[in-house]
Amino acid sequence: MAAKVLVLVVCTGNICRSPTGEGVMRHLATRRGLGEQVEVRSAGTHDYHVGEAPDARTLRHAHQRGYDLGAQRAQLVTREHFGEYDYILAMDRSHLRILRNMAPTDAKARVGMFLEPSARWKGEDVPDPYYGGVEGFEQVLDMVEEAAGRWLDLIQAELDPSAFRLES
Distance, in Å, from the CA atom of 36 to the CA atom of 30, rounded to the nearest integer, reads 8
Nearest one of 123, 160, 114, 145 to 25, comparing CA atoms: 145
Instruction: Please count the other Cβ atoms lying within 10 Å of the Cβ belonging to residue 145.
Output: 18
Distance, in Å, from the CA atom of 148 to the CA atom of 159, rounded to the nearest integer, reads 16
Catalytic site positions: 11, 17, 128
Q: Name residue 160's beta-bridge partners.
A: none
